Structure 1
Amino acid sequence: MAGLPKANSSLSNAFGDYSTDQPFVFNKNQTTDQFIKKIGEVSREIGQKNGIYSSVMIAQAILESGSGNSSLASEPNYNLFGIKGTFKDQGVTFNTLEQDKEGQSYQISSEFRKYPSYKESLEDYANLIKKGIKGNTDFYKDAWKDQTESYQDATKHLQGRYATDKQYAEKLNAIIKAYDLTQFDQAKESKEVKKITAGPKIKATKTTFDFNERLQAKLLASIANKQRVPQVMTTKHFINLFRADSLIALASTAMPAKKIVTETLPTAASMYVTLSSGLLAILPPLH
């Protein structure tokens, strides 16, 4: 891999032992965890903006740069993807391993782009995937989100195009699975602080009573035991007074009561008051 130094013991354990005849196994390690924390959210934003898989982008950065530990990826070069050439006239020369069609490795010396930070390296990678190579702008088109069903389609397309490694797609898929990198393929959930809106205004509890309320109270008290409207009050006035509070007022064929009820009614009971003209008013319970 471009600029990747000879693996030390920790890096060997991270990538595992493999050959073309064995499935690639990637073991989680602290170095890669820390690297993902550095580039994860930036990769998410760039992936969303360009319609490419951030999971694949991060996996390629891990694989191509040894989780940011290669000489090419380290400060002051920050080249995470082994992209050759120059970036704003800045470049650095490294030896790199390539593979021929038969899978045999060989070493060449090449100039690689040099970036001011990881962010520019990630953005340049996205630009390459979206705009392709000279003479073929659709070279990486089949790796875009809208051209694929899943990230596996993208990694399959990159093998043989982005890298000559015969196990390139398998390695990327193993890394994506080990670190659940597909989480970065989704837009980050917004955590906007909801504005606290003022609730309905609560009016102060009414502590005064108007004339009608006082009159109602007196009338209810006076007719609790004597269910007759006082002679000084007309039936119309009585109905208007209790219109809002009465449960119902019904026409009744019953004649005015001839027998006066003398028993005390409980305050929780509704009162049936006989009115003139054959009307019956049902008043709410006393509280």
Structure 2
Amino acid sequence: MIILAATPIGNLGDATRRLVEALENASVIAAEDTRTTQRLLAALGISHRPRLIALHDHNEKAKAGEIVDLAREQDVLVLSDAGMPTVSDPGYGLVAAAVEAGVAVTALPGPSAVLTALAVSGLPTDRFTFEGFVPRKQGERRSAFGALTNEPRTMVFFDAPSRVAATLQDMAHVFGADRRAAVCRELTKLHEETVRGGLAALAEWAAEGVRGELVIVVEGAPQQSIDFDTAVAQVGALVTAGARLKDAAGEVSAQTGHSSRELYQASLAARGKPDTAG
């Protein structure tokens, strides 16, 4: 089978017992960077030397078939440089190929920069969305943020320290200067730091220069203060655009705070159809 294994995101002590056992017993490891994997083996005191296959963004499409074929006969351990493979790291293409070929896929849970940052951010954690790496160019950044203007869930982003000041400025411009956020730096490492505040204040802080691996967590948009009839009209517009009524009611409910069930019933009544859900 294919075994996706989470590796430490900074602190070596976060390596799980299952990860260590898997590394000790693996005959084949597909690694984002084989040199990083060799250093991990040495740091964990593992003398076992499995076969290492490089699996990164530039060769994953070409290598996936070979690795899937290997996994028909033996377990193949898949590692990224840090955290869980496939999450803003190589592995998705391989998993998709394995699923298509009927090869089993499992995972060894472990450290996650996304969940760690979300947990310490001080922002709502009940619903969130992971948006991956922020675009490099300002125009693309602002366009991406513009598409998220009304996103009600907490948003998690990755960014480079060299661009974080510009990113926070663009976020303040699009989301609003006072939208709450947190910048999590060097998570699980010696100099771990989480700076919280409004986006404009964080942009000013970052202008002095920031170092280390970064995760930005941004509060979702406040629920729109609209009346129930307007919310029902929004549901109708979504349905007209092709959405299922149940999905449309749920989406508008999340954005407005009105009951999904009540929006569903009112929309049915407006369309002159009986409730057949139950």
TM-score tier (shorter): under 0.3
TM-score, normalised with respect to structure 2: 0.20
Select the structure that is richer in strand: 2
Name the structure where helix makes up a greater proportion of residues. 2
